[in-house]
Amino acid sequence: MADKEKMLARCNAITKNTLMETLNITYTDIGEDYLTARMPVDEKVHQPDGVLHGGATVALAESVGSAASLIFLDNEKVFIRGVEIAANHVSSVRSGYVYATARFLHKGRTTQLWDIKVTDGDGKLVSSCKLTTISLPKTK
């Protein structure tokens, strides 16, 4: 893979003034077939009873999947949009960080299907998400 640190810096730079910045989502690792991001779990992303809100989890999952599409597709020629996301929340988190790792299940020219696992700091599964993205040609 091209310079890993450069790619992560690029991903983190595009979060300025976005939901990702609001949620303190940071891209932390990249490989040949995956991208990982982390998000702190604190009162900003809690439900009223003090556990991680499922909506914040889904925002993390869509953020990492969409950023992965930008990296692994020809983003000079296409722009990416999320089409559908589904999440199964299997355990709760009260504090620390959650990590989302996106991997392709299908890499088509037009549509892509991502498998995104969200885990806690110990690697325990928090949510299993599927994201469908579409790549559309940029027009000048």
Buried b (16+ CB within 10 A) or exposed e, 50-73: ebbeeebbbbbbbbbbbbbbbbbb
CB 103 within 8 A of CB 71: no
User: In one letter, which amino acid is 9?
Assistant: A
Active site residue 32: no
What does the angle CA 86 – CA 12 – CA 131 come to, to the nearest 5 degrees? 15
Q: Are 77 and 133 in contact (CB under 8 A)?
A: no
**What span, in angstroms and rounded, lies between the C-alpha atoms of 140 and 137?**
10
- Considering the candidates 32, 43, 62, 76, report the single residue annotated as catalytic: 62
Enzyme catalytic residues: 62
